[in-house]
Amino acid sequence: MSISNETCNPKASLDDVAKALGVSKSTVSRVLSGKGRISEETRQRVMQCAAQMNYQPNVIARGLAQSKTFNIGVVLPYEKDLGEIPFFQNCLTGICETVSSRDYDVIVAMAAADDASQLERMIRNRKVDGVILTRSVTDDPAVKLLKENNIPFVLIGSTSDDSVVQIDIDHESACCELTTYLISSGCSRTALLLGSKSHNVNVSRYNGFVNAYAKSGKAFDNSLVYDNLSGRRAIELAVGEILNKDCDCILCGDDYICVRALAALKEKQISVPDEIKIASFYNSPVLQSYTPPITSVNADPFELGEAAAQTVLSLINDSDPSACGFLSYEISIKRSTL
């Protein structure tokens, strides 16, 4: 019988292939990595021999030589109630699918909002080439850590820190669309509650809001726009004023504002949506289980994951920032505006 089981040797190394062919390691390396000039003939021979020996490159060794890991770290929230939401799992799916197509792997860390210890371990152990954050708190220790260590990273969602790469939807058009819906569903006096205009995202939202009125031909009342809202108290005050102004709807710039506004309404015993409607611009998962369900803009978590993955990979490899365009979203109409 033939010695055909040399085919299934435990592990063939690049060196083994080289020796079997009587060439040098570098020749084999060049062929397999596609770098450097190689005669077509030897290329063929190497390829064939490698295939025959079932050679599989050792990614770890390659990584050591190139200071790469071919791993992307993903930080997922640890909190139980967030775990219940499929948002993150779907993000993860998008991320995995994308990075694996480039032969990268995903290393996950579950971490509470203010706990960067898992991420720190990951970085200390040099296990990842880049990181995807799936949420961010203000003064996020994770962000700090990543910046300090010069690790390429992106954030899924929005943060006020404009220096971090954020994977997000087209806020302007989404806000325009949501506003248009509100107008068409009969809201004649909608108030807009916005955070600081020094954040681009809020400017976009404002523009979308204005555009919607322009397109609809309805009168736009700028006195119903409250921007630069920060802190609980400011929101409560705004809600108070809004109620006096005889509004029939409140559009909140983000979920933090929305939560506060809802609390204020509750305190004043105003019922949603009977006495006033409310909608939240934007998609963070915290509102998902609220009663009544809140109309809002939702991003597709799978797509967010995909885009985030592509972006970190570009940050790592292509240098070019990969202007990946905007992400799709959907307006999800819930009871709060019916």
Partner DNA sequence: TTGAAAGCGCTAACAT
Partner DNA sequence: ATGTTAGCGCTTTCAA
Nearest-approach distance from CB 74 to its own copies, in angstroms: 8
DSSP state letter for 326: P
Exactly one of 6, 7, 19, 26 binds DNA (CB under 7 A); which one? Answer: 26
Task: Answer with the entry of DNA, its own copies, none that 121 interacts with (C-beta below 5 to 8 A by kind).
Answer: its own copies
Task: Answer with the entry of DNA, its own copies, none that 228 interacts with (C-beta below 5 to 8 A by kind).
Answer: none
Task: Answer with the entry of DNA, its own copies, none that 118 interacts with (C-beta below 5 to 8 A by kind).
Answer: its own copies
3-state SS assignment for residue 54: coil
- Residue 19 binding DNA, by CB under 7 A: no
> How many residues in total does the chain contain?
338
- Residue 49 binding DNA, by CB under 7 A: no
Q: Which residues pair with 225 in a beta bridge?
A: 192
Buried b / exposed e over 96-119, threshold 16 CB at 10 Å, is bebbeeeebebbbbebeeeebebb
Closest CA to 299 of 196, 136, 166, 193: 166
Closest CA to 11 of 43, 47, 50, 42: 50
| Contacts (CB under 7 A) with DNA, residues 61-80 | 61-62, 64-67
Site size for its own copies (CB under 8 A)? 37
Site size for DNA (CB under 7 A)? 31
Return the number of other C-beta atoms located less than 10 Å from residue 218's C-beta.
14
Task: Answer with the entry of its own copies, DNA, none that 29 interacts with (C-beta below 5 to 8 A by kind).
Answer: DNA
Task: Answer with the entry of DNA, its own copies, none that 110 interacts with (C-beta below 5 to 8 A by kind).
Answer: its own copies
Indicate the residue among 63 and 292 with the shorter CB distance to its own copies: 63
3-state SS assignment for residue 72: strand
- Residue 15 binding DNA, by CB under 7 A: yes
Exactly one of 2, 4, 5, 39 binds DNA (CB under 7 A); which one? Answer: 39
119 contacts 109 by C-beta, under 8 angstroms: yes
Nearest-approach distance from CB 27 to DNA, in angstroms: 3
3-state SS assignment for residue 295: strand
- Residue 51 binding DNA, by CB under 7 A: no
| Contacts (CB under 8 A) with its own copies, residues 78-107 | 78, 80, 83-84, 86, 88-90, 92-93, 96-97, 100, 103, 105-107
Q: Which residues pair with 130 in a beta bridge?
A: 72
- Residue 22 binding DNA, by CB under 7 A: yes
Task: Answer with the entry of its own copies, DNA, none that 106 interacts with (C-beta below 5 to 8 A by kind).
Answer: its own copies
| Contacts (CB under 8 A) with its own copies, residues 30-69 | 56, 58-61, 63-64, 69
Closest CA to 131 of 100, 95, 173, 157: 95
Question: In Å, how far from its chain's centre is CA 80?
Answer: 20
Cis omega (within 30 of 0) on the bond before 152?
Answer: no
